[in-house]
Amino acid sequence: MQKNFPLSMHKFSRAAALAALAAGDQGKYWEYHEKLFQNYNTLSDSKFLEIAQEIGLDMDAFKKSLADPRHQAELARDIEDGRMAGVTGTPTIFVGGRKLNNRSLEGFKALIDAELKTKKK
């Protein structure tokens, strides 16, 4: 499951998160998300529309979805959930509700193995 946690140091991060949620209404959250990160240094309101068009979104539906208050509410919940969970940056990864601190392959494996052990009990 994805959660959004736009960082205040990035001018367009909140708008980018909302645009990705709007793209998700058409089943293209992750495709849009990937394009945002590929274009992180040129983000703008016009770039959000350009990306939407590039990945084949219905532009009228996308623009309508951008203004949908449920996305604002979802984003506010994501931010609050992140704060409560101790998120301070992105990406932050959780496995079974436990925060991954060691993001090496060994760290992933250790946390997944530990989680699997708790599920076997």
For 17-33, how does the pLDDT look when each residue is reduced to its tens digit (9 = 90+)? 999 999 999 999 999 99
Mean pLDDT of 66-88: 95
Position 47 scores a pLDDT of 98
Domain residue spans of the chain: 1-87, 91-121
- Would you say residue 120 has pLDDT above 80? no
CA proximity to 29, closest of 4, 59, 47:
4
Q: Say if domain 1-87 classifies as CATH 2.40.30.10.
A: no
Whether the CB-CB separation of 85 and 94 falls below 8 Å is answered with yes
Contacts of 68 (CB under 8 A, 6+ apart): 22, 25
